[in-house]
Structures are given as C-alpha cells and as structure tokens.
Amino acid sequence: MENQNVQTTLYIKTDLNLLLECLKYQMDCPLSQKEALITIYSICQQNSEASEYFREIGGLRFINDLAKSSIHCVVKEAALFTLGIIIESNVYCQQSLCTSALFEDLILVLINKDSGVNLKRMSVYVILVLVSNNKYGQTYVRETGCIGLLLQLFRTTLSTSEMNLSDENTYQSYQLWSSVCSTLCACVNNPQNDNQSICCAVFPYAKEWLESCTEPEIVRPICSFVGLTVANNSTVQKYFVSVGGLDTLAKVLNKLMHDSCISQSSTKLAVVVTKTLDACIANDSAMGGTLAKYHTVSELLNLLSNDTLDTGEKMSIILTIGHCTEVCGKNFFFFLTLF
C-alpha cells in the first residue's frame, strides 16, 4: 500500500511538471492553456501535498503571472480559479501569495470596465481564500483599499428590483454578489478585526435588502455577513440597531414564522435569522428590549416548539431567548406575559 502511494505521488509530480511546461509553451493557444489549468486544479484540489509541490517547481508564480499578462479572458478566469484552488488547499501557498501586490492586481481586475462578471467573480474568489483564517490577508485587504471595493460591489452588483434568478444575466450578477458576501464574511472573522468597523458602513443597504426580499438566496448571505460583522463588537452592534437593523430582523422573523405554517424552508430560514438576532444583542442584552414590540420572544417560543428542528438549532433559539430576556432578571416570567 505504501509503495502504491509513493508511485501515485510520483505520477502526480510528473503530471504537474508536464502541465507546467504545457502552459509555458502554449502561450499562443488559449484553449490548450485553459485545459492545462483545468487539469492542474483538478489535481491540486483538496490535495495539499500536490499544491505544495506545484509551488516548489514555480507553478504558482507562473500562473499568477499568467493571470496578469494573458490577453485572453478564458485564460485569466481559469488561472485565477486555479490560484484560488491551490491557495485554499495549502496554507504555505496562501502565505507565499498573500502580498499587497496581489491584492492590488485583483483590484485592477475588479475596477476594469472590460472585466466580465465571471472574471470579477474569480478575482473575488482569490481574495476570499487569501483572507480566510489569515490575519495578514485581512490586513492587506484593508490597507490596499480592497475591502472598500468589495463593499461597493455589495451595494451595486445586484438590484432589489431585479431578483429574477431564472434570467441568466441576473443570476451571474447574483453569483458575484453572493461571492462578495462570502468574502466580506471572511474579512471580518477568524480572527475578528478592525474590518468589522469598516463593513458596518453597508448595514443600511443590508437592511433595505431584508425589507424588500425574504428569499433564502438573499436572507442567508446577508444574515451571515451581519452576524459575523457584529459578533463580539458592541460598537458595531449599536450601529446596526441605530439604523433600524434589529427592527428589520424582528419583522423578517415574524414574516417567516407566518410563512412557516406552509413552508419548511421558512422554518429553517427563521433559525438563521434568530442566530443573527442573537449576535446583535449578545454583548448588550438591553438592546433586546427593542424586540418587545414585535413579540419576538413569543415567536421564538413558537419556533422552539417545531419538531423538525435539530438539537443545535433549538439550542441557538434557547440562547437567543435567554439574551432577549436577560435584562428582565428575576422578572423573566412576568416579561413573557408581555408577549
């Protein structure tokens, strides 16, 4: 078995060397380069050892240069996606490419009017894997101004009046917007950092989205973004409340609870909203008083009684109820009668 693993590793290394040579000698054949890149990322995907070897033979740097220099969009897209796959697979690859220069290169792609939606999405994906669980990437994304560009994309990529995801153009824009949301989540979390204070600038836009649309495709990414941005940060939590965000979440919860009678997906989405509510008041239970007029505790108790929820989901609801009623102290049961 050990000999077989060694042989497989040798085959992989041989293939990666040949593929790198193919990339170098097919500069005038974009389709061949694209095919080589596809094969490279299929080998390196979730294979840390293969990704590290590809870095050692100069493949990572070559693909990075190719993404910048190629005049062919299909090659640029494939090169960026391959970079992302390799960075995601191996922490040393992440560290070697995590430079302000790369963030600046990605910014140029995002602001280029000739960049298509898919090319922008590949660029955002590379930013995502650079900042994920990486304080240095999170610092670079802030210092280069890249995070400001991501926030601009959050505000402008998708319109609340254009939510027909069956339309191909709208769906492509939605995919870019969703990728931006995921990247912003990674910018503020693991570890939590100063990016939280920067990202709260788009809370009014997040609020508008929640007010105009309760589809899972919108509510889930926004709740993830808001929940991580406010997490353990009382200043950011207070700002979210000040722009009416907590009121909006409570209203969304009420609507989902009403819809949950006929839709199981609404019940699951209500749990997502509940977790976000909890993140908003966890550090200052006094803010939970805002929720009284929306009968939020009563709605949460109804949600808790749903038999389709698993133990983890019920625990998150119980924690939220606890934070909502913590301000009442010994008057907890009296407080419940108000709902």
In this structure, the number of other CB atoms found within 10 A of the CB of residue 240 comes to 27
| Measured CA angle at 316 (ends 313, 319), to 5 deg | 150
Query: In the chain, which residue ranges form alpha helices assigned H by DSSP?
Result: 2-25, 30-44, 48-56, 59-69, 73-89, 91-97, 100-111, 117-131, 135-143, 146-156, 168-188, 195-199, 203-212, 216-230, 234-242, 245-259, 264-281, 296-304, 311-325, 332-337
Q: Which residues of the chain have pLDDT under 50?
A: 330-339
300 burial (CB, 10 Å; 0-12 / 13-18 / 19+) is: buried
3-state secondary structure of 199: helix
Q: How far is the C-alpha of 18 from the C-alpha of 33, rounded, in Å?
A: 12
pLDDT at 169: 87
pLDDT at 4: 65
| Measured CA angle at 315 (ends 215, 221), to 5 deg | 25
CA–chain centroid gap for 110, Å, is 17
